[in-house]
Chain A
Amino acid sequence: MKVFVIDIARCNGCYCCQIACKDEHVTNDWTPYAKPQPDTGQFWLKLNEYVRGKFPKVKMHYLPVLCMHCKDAPCILACPIEGAIYRREDGLIIINPEKCNGCKSCIDTCPLGAIYFNEDLNLAQKCTGCAHLLDRGWKEPRCVDACPTQALKFGEESELKDLIAKSEVMKPALSARPSVYYLNLPKKFVAGTVFNPVDKEVIIGAICTLLSNDKKMTATTDGFGDFWFNDLEVGTYSLKIEAKGFTPKTITNIHTEKDVNLGHIPLSKNDEV
């Protein structure tokens, strides 16, 4: 079975995948695999941008989203026409442009909005995994071929099983059993800067301990007085900051629905207490 494995940590947001997809499918008619993709408005592979945190503790990542080629694809179930949406032997899901009657039943069933509607052709359209190329001997679709950092990988599920073991799938598509796996999907972060308000200096080497119900993590402030806790689950945390010569400080009720920049955190000297 063919699968995609996408490593978010390797994606630098160059958009080559999104553009290569258009280069392959816009104005090119690959019937019976797909009719041409319109020049704009459809993204059979779409790169989404996410900015997290608050200035200056800001991170961003890019998330390529395409048809998940689900093993229990809801679009196939929703389609009223026999064989208009089908799963190939290699696992790729195709909307047959010659059978689709434009009823749009499939579009709302896709948990990730990966199916687009072409008003001019009265046709549902989406990623084909470049099956037309694979059938001519290509080893991978255009988006994967164009990826300069190998963030996008494509191949047999059995050959990629080690990566898949470490991966996640898109939550909305979980029950449909997607064939697109993601590595290093960013979780939340808690960050801040520890400083001494009297001397107006950052505090280097402060030990920061982040606690949740079941977990304890530590970090040490760097040369800028900064600490970072990455890869956090959504939840409520408390943070204890200790530095030699300073009164420890605890910050409670840190919620990580969004990434958290705690800003500048003052510590007072022991002798001042």
Chain B
Amino acid sequence: MAIAYVWITEGSYDKSYVATHTFGFEKFELYVLGKEDGVPKTPEWASEKTGIQAMTIKALAREWASKRTSIVHGNRGPGIRSAYSTETGRLEVLLLAMQGLGKPGVHQVKMIEWGLSDLWYPKLSPMPVGVVHPQNLRLNYTITEIKTKRASAFDQEGVARSELEKLTTPAPVNPTQFIPKDLIHEAILNPPISWYGNSTFPGALEDQFVKYTYPAKGCSEVHMIWTDSPCWITCWNDSNSYIKGLRSPKIEFILAQHPWFENDCLLADVILPINTKFEEEDITADLESGQYSILLRGRKCIEPLGESKSDYEAVCMIAEKLGLLEKYTGGKSAEEWMRIGFENMGLKEVINFEEFNKKEYFIIPTDPEWKKLPPGMKEFYDEPEKHPLKTPSGKIEFFSQNLAKHFPDDKERPPVAHWIEKGESHDDRISSERAKKYPLLLMSNHGRWRVHAQCDDISWTREAPTCKVKGPDGYKYEPLWINPMDAAKRGIKNGDVVKIYNERGTVLGGAYVTERIMSGVVYMDHGARYDPIVPGELDRGGAINTISPHNTTSKNATGMVVSSFLVEVEWVNIEELRKKYPDAFRRHYDAGAGLHLDAWVEGDIDR
């Protein structure tokens, strides 16, 4: 906002572009200048909120305006997983628009997956444009998902159409009832609930305005959970509430399928041991990850260990007991499904299944015509009327007509992007009353040393100082980044065990005292393996999501909020905790790999 303020007051933005390529700028200008709410969004105003000096914000605004500036994102980080992140996300596009988005050198570049504007829009990605755009085939696509995909990549010129719809078994239907993952705790604990959008990211635009409810009309509440990705505790918002939900008497039975005994498996009634990729035949697709798209024929390296099965085999065995096997498999073997999957990824023009099986890998070649493709949003920049965007005006909307139409009274996501200090969904700014008790803002991101909850038990990565901090008790704690000033104020030294807490619970961590983080902010990766001392309240493993905010992005936006929330950090006397909770501290712990099966099994394990 303050950058826009500098540009508007100094006249250092592209006025002719704004006139021809955007809609509703004057309403944005009124808000930025303070004519809407009496608060000019000056650099001084922003300085109080960000801890960055006003002169630095001014310098950034001028530096940005004086040079062709693009914004590059890895995967957009914690910024899109915090309270009211819709506003910062929109604002970034608006700032780019003020400097002529689409002009050579003025872009938003996202290094992986989908980018700005059009979902899966191949031209906006920095990756080489392939001759084909393979799609992962999944059974049971919903109508909405298919529509989403068709609305984007499938309708692009030159992109092979898939036979997806024909193949889907059963025929694609939207489920009669579903719950967005970031509302599962709410759905179990406080039904009925309602929300907007099917929560698929990236979802179709129009779906954002569809209201869904749970329980859906004519449906019962959930009684049983069957999960093949048991990592809600480590990956979702206020997961201490998920734990309460999963332990609620309403949930009569939980079945988990997983290769590791970890996280949500701890709350399951029955756990089916599942293969790792090394134990089965498969196809691995590395698509849209910022490099050449690659397909690999993942061969079985070892026979499945113990009684382990593939996810598919495990479900087949249950289906057989229920007399549903034929219906589930469609009479086809796993090998046949693999072939069908491959043959319907949109690769027909470049390789067949036999060749792929022999070659065992395939790199999607770059489109020989790639030089003719317009770079980024150049077409829109050159001729906005001829190449309109999918907004109602066909232009970049400073005033969103869709939001004005569907949510005219939404104070948390108004038609013009706003700074939301607090609202009915969130109160997590440093200006909050809560900040008196919880004065630090915690930032959390995808872990450098894990993929979400996966790979937290690799003894070799756990030796890196930003992967784990070895406490005085030999336990490897999840690093809590803290500035030396904040640490000194709290009597915390590098390597100490600390607790990070707010009203939602407490997580233990190992202090990583560093100048790499500013004072007032602390940081912890998400995804550390859950090690409950008191389930739903106190965790030793460092699963920081257990204490992240409960509500979604905002009232009508169904995104997760797992970063930028208020906490306090304190030094912990680990020996006192050990005395208080002897059972939790007695769990078997491998000095290298950490928690594993032995920690949870009573008696001897039959190997």
Contacts and interface: CB of A to CB of B under 8 A. Distances in A.
Interface of A: 15, 18-19, 22, 26, 39-40, 43, 47, 49, 51, 53-56, 58, 60, 195, 200-202, 204, 223-225, 264
A22 B592 CA distance: 13
Contact of B591 (A40, A55, A58, A264): A40
B60 interface: yes
Given A55-B483, A200-B54, A39 B516 contact: no
B interface, over-half SS: loop
A200 B592 contact: no
The residue in B60, B464, B465, B517 that gathers the most chain A C-beta atoms within 10 A of its C-beta is B464
B55 A54 contact: no
30 contacts: A15-B461, A18-B460, A18-B463, A19-B461, A22-B460, A26-B460, A39-B459, A40-B462, A40-B592, A49-B466, A51-B515, A51-B516, A53-B515, A54-B515, A55-B483, A55-B517, A55-B518, A55-B519, A58-B515, A58-B516, A195-B55, A200-B54, A202-B55, A202-B56, A202-B58, A202-B59, A223-B59, A225-B55, A225-B59, A264-B53
B66 interface: yes
Contacts of B516: 51, 55, 58, 60
Contacts of A264: 53
Contacts of A22: 460
Given A200-B55, A201-B55, A223 B63 contact: yes
Contacts of B592: 39-40
Interface residues of B, number: 27
B168 interface: no
B468 to A, nearest CB: 11
Identify the 7 closest CB pairs spanning chains A and B, nearest first: A223-B63, A40-B592, A224-B59, A58-B515, A55-B515, A202-B59, A202-B55
B62 interface: yes
Given A54-B515, A56-B518, A58-B515, A223 B459 contact: no
B464 A15 contact: yes
Interface string B333-362: 000000000000000000000000000000
Nearest to A195: B55
Contact of B60 (A53, A54, A55, A224): A224
Contacts of A60: 516
B470 to A, nearest CB: 10
B213 interface: no
Contacts of B59: 201-202, 204, 223-225
Contacts of B465: 49
Given A40-B591, A225-B55, A19 B518 contact: no
Contacts of B463: 18, 40, 43
Contacts of B462: 40
